[in-house]
Amino acid sequence: MQHHSPLQCLSSSACLPGFYPPASLLLFPSTLSHARTFTPYPSPLLLLLLAPAPLLLPLPLHSLYSPPPFSRFYPHSLPSFDCTVYPHLHFMRSPPLILCFYFHSLSVAFTPPSPPFSFCCLYFPLSLSGFCPPLSFPALTLSLEQREDDTSRYHWKPLQNGDPVRPRGFGSAVSRCQRRPRGVAARRPCVWRERADPVRADKWVGTRDGSKMPPPCVQVPVDHVLLGLPITLDDIVGEEDCLYLNVFTPKKKKPDEKLPVMVYIHGGAFFVGGAHEYLPHVLMNHDIVLVVIQYRLGTLGFMSTEDMVMPGNFGMKDQVMALRWVQENIHSFGGDADRVTIFGESAGGASVHLHVLSPMSKGLFARAILQSGSALAPWAVGEKFRQGAFLTSRVVRCPKCILTKDVTFCMQLTDGKEVASAVKNFTEWFIFPVRMVPRVDGDFLPDEPATLMRRGKYNRVDIMAGVTRDEGGMVTYPLFSGESMVRALEENFTHFGPVSLGFQDEEDPVALATRVYKHYLGDIVFDEQHSDQLTRAYSDVHFNLPHDLTSQIFARDPGTKIYRYELKHRSQLSFGDIYDMSLGKNWITHADDLYYLFRGGPLFAPDSPPDRPGDLQDEDDLRLRDIITAMWTNFAATGNPTPDDSLGFTWEAATESNFRHLALKPSPEMEDDQRQEIRRFLTSLPTRVNRLLRPDRIPQEEEDDPTTRATQDEL
């Protein structure tokens, strides 16, 4: 084939000899971030294409009836399509175009600009009916599963679109753009959509099959993360078509009764987790409607170029969309939209706190439960997203990108699992630093969480918040399960010391890390003899202090009630069992509270040790489980975890002058605050959160984020 310049291709039909241009394709100036819809003309040969082109130019199309020998170039790709290839058309570094016609349809394929390249087509019917625009998102759907051997007191209820909902067999809401077994051309619109904000699904007619558990969102496998195993592309699990939610209702309910709703947001450091790990278990012994949601994770959920091209926080906006769905549809399941409680653990707890802070989530819930997670934690809200986006583009072998729209464009054309696998390039020491997390974007999160908390710029809802006694065991177990993490701290403390405590982005990270480790250890030494002290350090820095600071602010607010707790009972099942180590046998570590609420996937049933029971069996464990589920559901129903004396004790709300918490054990009791001294030490450190919370005590660092400055001026 004779090569011609882009200008020659635009001005003549000489690029592909023997074919004649019957029509024109109009390229309008735009940016990819604004290309929200493709609007077809009545003619099947004319399309209004919004593309990243700087000029308005006519592009000759070649005859449908004499197509070029497309199969010679891609013999196995689109055998039923007639395609014209323009390999030399480049606009602002955009890739070549392949225009593919199939009966009354047109698809536009983009290919990477440098060979060897593969292509993918975007399939668009040239009629308004069934039209599926790109850069939107398959909206939240409902996925239901029925287990024949399940004896729990819940059942699955169907969903049909429209108002009112009339149950008819098992069903689920479906997205407007389903993956169909038609190869690349049919599924590419879904991939494009899943790199943008979520979009509401269209209504449907009839009943949708919801009998299968939804696939998790694309992620690295959780066991590889916890055990520090190497991660390859073949290890990546999940699907990009993953925005589903599960709904559980009790078996016996009065027809007109409206039940309180509990919406669970899973944890996993914002890059692992899924609904399949959180089956309702004994929660459904209580009269509630339970919703378990999924959201995009890791690079696919939180990568950002720190501008409007890729603003980030996609995973958080997925959660908002789920909460909106609940408000609009939960009545069909017997749920009360005015009594929605959101709860979550770890990153899920931090997510719950972020919804309390977000104006986007206002009015979508009435109560919130923060379990082992706070937006003030050093891992909950990140920085340096732009660098992360460009690093990811290099990892997935994108061409050298200068503009953020180039990075975004390449990401949208890259396989989701390959993009997700890039998260391993950000974790240097266990799961730290956690880079692909929520950010201050001026939209979902208008300012730093500490600033919003200090200024009282949050949604007034009642709160439950708490931790386990030995949260930091989550870090100490893997620290001593091998040699690499200890060796990294000992040989390169100036780098890994700050990373291990989440101080890597502070002004003087090494000095901060040194002060903290010396305070807990007496000297900087890392051995098993100091495992309890290390666990306490990681507990306080990553979990206890953020929770205490959060609770103190809520306790001072007369418009908010805050109930504090600390889990002080170790059950026969523990998160630490996955490591099967001799140390920490009495630790009540991160995620241990979940065994009282859920059962499910690998988090709850790891492969080792082999004699591990599948569920709680000890009498004290079962008693505490009944107490916890009763208090969680009481809070969802009334706003008070102990509204009467049926449990034999009263959980008092914390106040500024009475900052007490409930010790969760088989015989719960209120305890006085025991962390005053360590809080005085940790809040004296010149960290960013401390500067923002207490600008009068610690000099405020000068803001350099224009988005944040503008938002602060508005506030």
Catalytic residue list: 346, 471
Residue ranges of alpha helices (H) inside 137-236 are: 184-193, 222-227
Neighbouring C-beta atoms of residue 202, cutoff 10 Å: 13
DSSP 507-530: SSHHHHHHHHHHHHHSSS--SGGG
- Taking the CA atoms of residue 358, residue 313, residue 601 and residue 591 in that order, the dihedral angle to the nearest 10 degrees is -50
Q: Which tokens is 525 given?
A: 């030494």
Beta-sheet pairing, 335-345 with 259-265: parallel
Residue ranges of alpha helices (H) inside 438-483 are: 449-455, 473-481
DSSP 54-68: SS-EEEEE--SSS--
Enclosing H/E stretch for 229: none
Enclosing H/E stretch for 413: helix 404-413
Using CB atoms within 10 Å of the CB of residue 77, give its burial: 0 to 12 exposed, 13 to 18 middle, 19+ buried.
buried
Q: How many Cα atoms sit within 13 Å of 406 on the Cβ side?
A: 18
Cis peptide before 75 (omega within 30 of 0): no
For 110, 211, 406, 407, 415, the CA distances from 410, given in Å and listed in that order, are: 10, 36, 6, 5, 10
Q: What is the rounded distance in angstroms from the CA atom of residue 137 to the CA atom of residue 300?
A: 13
DSSP state letter for 136:
-
Q: Answer whether 300's CB lies under 8 Å from 240's CB.
A: yes
Q: What is the rounded distance in angstroms from the CA atom of residue 711 to the CA atom of residue 707?
A: 6
DSSP state letter for 540:
I
Phi and psi torsions of 561, nearest 5°: -105, 140
Question: E strands of 20-114, at which residues?
Answer: 23-29, 39-40, 47-53, 57-61, 82-86, 97-102, 105-110
Q: Which tokens is 8 given?
A: 């020659």
Q: What is the rounded distance in angstroms from the CA atom of residue 332 to the CA atom of residue 327?
A: 11
How many residues are present in the chain? Answer: 715
Q: What is the rounded distance in angstroms from the CA atom of residue 113 to the CA atom of residue 97?
A: 10
Question: E strands of 521-629, at which residues?
Answer: 562-567
Of the candidates 339, 342, 349, which has an alpha carbon nearest to the alpha carbon of residue 323? 342
Cis peptide before 164 (omega within 30 of 0): yes
Which amino acid is it at 710? A
Q: Answer whether 416's CB lies under 8 Å from 333's CB.
A: no
Phi and psi torsions of 84, nearest 5°: -115, 130
Of the candidates 345, 347, 354, which has an alpha carbon nearest to the alpha carbon of residue 296? 347
Beta-sheet pairing, 154-155 with 141-142: unpaired
Of the candidates 141, 140, 167, 166, which has an alpha carbon nearest to the alpha carbon of residue 156? 167
Q: Spell out the residues 6+ positions from residue 285 whose beta carbon is closer than 8 angstroms to its own.
A: 152, 153, 629
Phi and psi torsions of 436, nearest 5°: -85, 85
